[in-house]
Structure formats: structure tokens, C-alpha cells
């Protein structure tokens, strides 16, 4: 395997499958089996998952809700998704721990860096819920922050498309895909990979990002093995 320790970033919307909202158990089971293919190879896996399938703070704020309250609701949504993913992973016989940035001791461990790294070294998948624990920060920022803290080799951003394009491939049939691209070029071209805070943090710490299609079974294993799947953003 090319990468020994990864941070997998999943959107909350990815868990909906073909549904309009909520969680699709079949999609969860597919993800769990995909993750098992790499944990069986000894790869250490940490996961950050969004909460957009349940609640999105920015959307709530746009309709008159207090932004801070909305963001905390979004953090709780990520914990719900984390619990669901933990259940699916454990059903696949993958030992898993859920750590949260906000304390919910009855359902998850608090985030403690050393403890998280110890879990990874013991072969457990660690899911980080609750974002960064602060409003105004996205789960993209949480993903980059946690990846740096646990000394991950790479951030793998699983999406619905198979990489980064010059325009939205779901709207433009002539969109051109980048096989690899530098951080500077992403910024110059105005491409949306992650929010600016998260992207800048990744750039400053020279932490590569690979954007790939997570919904195609087997892609995760290919990416971790070093195959040219998706688009790599590097220095």
C-alpha cells in the first residue's frame, strides 16, 4: 500500500444514497465493505463525515436561524452519522471508535489526540465527529485539522464525481478533468476542492488531497494502493 495512514473525508449527503435525506443502510454497508478492504491490508483509517444529509448550519442561517445555533445542530448531525457509520463498520467486523469534539460521553469518547493515534496503531478505525467543536468551521476544516494532528499521509475526499474538473461535470459535458494539480493552480483557477480555510491549512502543511469517486466500489483500495484514481492536489 502506498499510504499507511489516511484521513477519509465523506460528505453527509453521500450517506443518503438515492434518498432525498437521511441515511441509506445499503450505502453505509457498501462503504463499510470498501473500508474493510484497506484495513485488512493494514492501512490505518481515520474518518471525518459531514452532516448535510440531516442538517446544514449555513442553510439554516440563510433562513433566519442563528448561525452559531445552526452550526451546533450541524455538529450533532455529524455525530449521528458517525454513530451510523460506526455501527456499519462493526457489523463488518471492523473495530471502530467514535471520538467527538463536543463531549457526549454516553455515546462517544472525547477527542484526545494521543488516544486516537493509539487506536489507529491497534488497527481500529477512528471516526471524528462534531467537526472542530467550533461554529463557523466546516467539516472540511475538521478533516484537515485532524489529519495533521494524527500525522496522516494523505486526505482522501470521497465525492460523487471522479476528480477535480475545470467546470462542474454534472452540468457541463465538456468539463475537463485534472489528473493532478498544484495547490497554487487550484487557487488561481478558482476551483472548489474544499473551503478556503481547510484548503489553506492543507497547503501550509504540505498535506496532499486526493479527490475521487467513493461511490464506485473498489476505488478506495485503488487510491490507497497508489493507482491514478481521481485527482491529486499536491505542492
Q: Is 165 labelled a binding residue?
A: yes
**CA–CA dist 39, 68 (Å, integer):** 37
Q: Is 134 labelled a binding residue?
A: yes
Predicted confidence at residue 58, as pLDDT, reads: 66
Total domains in the fold of the chain: 1
Report whether 57 contacts 64 (CB < 8 A): no
Mean pLDDT of 135-151: 97
Q: Is 168 labelled a binding residue?
A: yes
Q: What is the mean pLDDT of the chain?
A: 94
| Alpha carbon separation from 44 to 120, 214, 223, 227 (Å, rounded) | 6, 18, 14, 18
> In terms of Cα–Cα distance, which of 20, 37, 9 is closest to 142?
9
Domain CATH number, residue 114:
3.40.1160.10
Domain coverage including residue 100: 5-234
**Does position 185 have pLDDT exceeding 80, yes or no?**
yes
Q: Is 9 labelled a binding residue?
A: yes
Q: Is 51 labelled a binding residue?
A: yes
Q: Is 56 labelled a binding residue?
A: yes
Q: Is 138 labelled a binding residue?
A: yes
Q: Is 129 labelled a binding residue?
A: no
Report whether 102 contacts 130 (CB < 8 A): yes
Q: Is 135 labelled a binding residue?
A: yes
Q: Is 10 labelled a binding residue?
A: yes
pLDDT, tens only, 56-69: 766 766 778 899 99
Amino acid at each position: 500500500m502506498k499510504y499507511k495512514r489516511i484521513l477519509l473525508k465523506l460528505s453527509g449527503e453521500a450517506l443518503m444514497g438515492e434518498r432525498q435525506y437521511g441515511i441509506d443502510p445499503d450505502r453505509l454497508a457498501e462503504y463499510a465493505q470498501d473500508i474493510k478492504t484497506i484495513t485488512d491490508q493494514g492501512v490505518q483509517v481515520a474518518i471525518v463525515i459531514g452532516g448535510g444529509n440531516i442538517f446544514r448550519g449555513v442553510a439554516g442561517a440563510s433562513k433566519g436561524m442563528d448561525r452559531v445555533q445552526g452550526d451546533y445542530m450541524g455538529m450533532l448531525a455529524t455525530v449521528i452519522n458517525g454513530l451510523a457509520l460506526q455501527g456499519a463498520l462493526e457489523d463488518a467486523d471492523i473495530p471502530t471508535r467514535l471520538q467527538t469534539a463536543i463531549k457526549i460521553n454516553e455515546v462517544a469518547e472525547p477527542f484526545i489526540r494521543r488516544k486516537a493515534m493509539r487506536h489507529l496503531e491497534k488497527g481500529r478505525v477512528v471516526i471524528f465527529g462534531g467537526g472542530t467543536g467550533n461554529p463557523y468551521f466546516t467539516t472540511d476544516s475538521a478533516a484537515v485539522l485532524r489529519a495533521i494532528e494524527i500525522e496522516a499521509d494523505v486526505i482522501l475526499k470521497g465525492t460523487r464525481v471522479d476528480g477535480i474538473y475545470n467546470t462542474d461535470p454534472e452540468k457541463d459535458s465538456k468539463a475537463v478533468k485534472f489528473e493532478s494539480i498544484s495547490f497554487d493552480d487550484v487557487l488561481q483557477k478558482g476551483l472548489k476542492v474544499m473551503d478556503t480555510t481547510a484548503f489553506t491549512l492543507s497547503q501550509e502543511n504540505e498535506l496532499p488531497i486526493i479527490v475521487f469517486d467513493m461511490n464506485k466500489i473498489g476505488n478506495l483500495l485503488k487510491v490507497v494502493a497508489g493507482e491514478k484514481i481521481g485527482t491529486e492536489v499536491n505542492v
